[in-house]
Structure 1
Amino acid sequence: MNIEYLKYFSELAKIQHYGKAAKALNISQPGLSHAIKSLEEEYGVPLFQKEGRNVSLSHYGKELMKDVDEILGAYLRLEERAVGLRTEEKTVRIGSVYPLAPGTIPHMLREFGATFPFIIYNRMTPEIAEGLLDGKYDIGFCSDLLKSDEIEYYPIRDSYIAVVVPKGHPLENRERISLKETAGYPQIMFSKTSGFRTLQEQIFAEEGIKVKPVCAAEEIEVITGLVENGFGISVLPYMDIVRLHNVVTIPVKTSGWNSKFYIARRKYGIRSEQEEAFFQYWKKEHH
């Protein structure tokens, strides 16, 4: 079945004149005649009948016309959807853990000189991993290593443990502090739904410190806001987002804990040139 021939068939059925239909289709009259003859040979029935200088649909042509209209309508919708997909493909979809989204990601896009349209989604690492695998995101920025053979990832920056205190706090002027020195103050921790809660508990457990949080939150942005408003202090991985608040950050002496943030994407898939260039630029910058 030739979709162009079906278009010719539909146009001739409307105009009912070979010469006028050929002109409307911007093809030669012999070309139109050949297309209609090919369809008649394919279907084994005459599709048109002559009426003087004009033509009209035969009984068979009228029956087939119903299906032709449906096929052409579906084809038009398919073309429109394909155009929409091509337009959407030009937009790079970025899934980022929240600590990197407000500062680090915009800085990276600016440094690269990004001119492509993009969307940044704030998600947690497991959601980003899932989104990369099912094609929801093109590039991910994650807070820990994604253990999947279908994803490639490269570290882009390190983090370290710090205690965040409000301005005016007794610890404000310290350049460095031990974990035990923080234990006597009200602690704000990540909620148990956050992957960082396990990290906090592990850090305290390594030094035999038991901490009962005064409150908890899932997002580092919320935790930092609680610290800023005097609800307590928080020991957490240092991230750029902290600088956006009126707080003081003090590095904590720990047993050498170190964490990394990664740029990630699925190993295989169709990529736009700009998406590929952005990923390779940052891969090269850090290797």
Structure 2
Amino acid sequence: MNIEYLKYFAELAKIQHYGKAAQALNISQPGLSHAIKTLEEEYGVPLFQKEGRNVSVSSYGKELMNEVEEILDAYLRLEERAAGLRTEEKTVRIGSVYPLAPGTIPRMLREFGATFPFIIYNRLTPEIAEGLQKGKYDIGFCSDLLKSDELEYYPIRGSYIAVAVPKGHPLEKRDTVSLKEIAYYPQIMFSKTSGFRKLQEQLFAAEGISVKPVCAAEEIEVVAGLVENGFGIAVLPYMDIVRLHNIATIPVETSLWKSKFYIARRKYGIRSEQEDAFFQYWRN
């Protein structure tokens, strides 16, 4: 089936004149005649009948006309959708875990010199994995290995446990501190609804330290804000978000918790050159 020939058939059926139809289609009249003859030979029935200088659609042509129009409509929708995909391809969709989204990802894009448009979505690692596999995201930044044969992923940086202290605090200039050293200061904890609260409790419990928090908050930016305003100090996984506050972070001497962040994408897919170059730049 030749889609162009079907277009010729529909146009001739509408105009009912070979010369005028050929002119409207911007092709030669012999070319139009050849196309219609080819269709008639393919379907085994006459599609048009002569009426003086004009033609009219035969009974067989009328039977096929609805199907031809449906095929042409579907083809037009396909072309429009393909054009939309080409436009969407220019925008790189990035799914990122929250610790990396505010600072690390913008800095990585700037360092690479990205000129492509992009969208950054804050998501949890399982959502990123699902989104990558379903084609919702082009590139993902996650905090755990995504165990899927459909994805490729590479570590880009590690994380560590730090203590956040307000500027001017006695510990501010230290290179590292122990949990026992910081246990004497008022502690700001994550609320029990936060996944980080259990981590804090495990860290102190491993050292045999009992801590009673002076206050708690669910989100890390709120915890950082409380530290900044002098309510206490906080033990937390280091995240770029704390850099937005006027506080200092000092690595804590502990081997209980280690984490890595990864860049990930589908193993196979249609990619723009810039998107692929960005991924390759950071996977090395």
Whether TM exceeds 0.5 here: the answer is yes
Change (3 A) 1:133 1:255: same
Q: Shift of residue 191 of structure 1?
A: 5.2
Give TM-score scaled by structure 2 length: 0.88
Q: Shift of residue 123 of structure 1?
A: 1.2
Aligned to 2:177: 177
Alignment-mate amino acid for residue 112 of structure 1? F
Change (3 A) 1:209 1:147: farther
Alignment-mate amino acid for residue 215 of structure 1? A
Report if the CA contact (8 A) 1:154-1:283 is conserved: yes
Alignment-mate amino acid for residue 120 of structure 2? I
Aligned to 1:131: 131
Change (3 A) 1:129 1:187: same
Q: Shift of residue 278 of structure 1?
A: 0.8
Report if the CA contact (8 A) 1:165-1:228 is conserved: yes
Alignment of 1:151-230 (within 5 A): 151-167=151-167, 171-172=171-172, 174-184=174-184, 185-189=186-190, 192=193, 194=195, 196-211=196-211, 214-217=215-218, 219-230=219-230
Q: Provide the rounded CA distance (Å) in 2 between the counterparts of 1:27 and 1:234.
A: 77
Secondary structure of the structure 1 residue equivalent to 2:98: coil
Q: Shift of residue 120 of structure 1?
A: 0.9
Aligned to 2:104: 104
Aligned to 2:114: 114
Alignment of 1:1-287 (within 5 A): 1-167=1-167, 171-172=171-172, 174-184=174-184, 185-189=186-190, 192=193, 194=195, 196-211=196-211, 214-217=215-218, 219-255=219-255, 257-284=257-284
Report if the CA contact (8 A) 2:188-2:223 is conserved: no
Q: Provide the rounded CA distance (Å) in 2 between the counterparts of 1:153 and 1:113.
A: 22
Q: Shift of residue 10 of structure 1?
A: 0.7
Gaps of 5+ in 1: none
Report if the CA contact (8 A) 1:188-1:231 is conserved: no
Which deviates further from its counterpart, 67-76 or 184-193? 184-193
Aligned residues: 282
Secondary structure of the structure 2 residue equivalent to 1:253: coil
Q: Shift of residue 212 of structure 1?
A: 5.3
Indicate the percent of aligned positions where both proteins have the same amino acid. 82
Q: Provide the rounded CA distance (Å) in 2 between the counterparts of 1:7 and 1:241.
A: 58
Report if the CA contact (8 A) 2:143-2:260 is conserved: yes
Q: Shift of residue 186 of structure 1?
A: 3.0
Q: Shift of residue 170 of structure 1?
A: 5.9
In angstroms, what is the RMSD of aligned CA positions?
A: 2.4
Report if the CA contact (8 A) 1:151-1:266 is conserved: yes
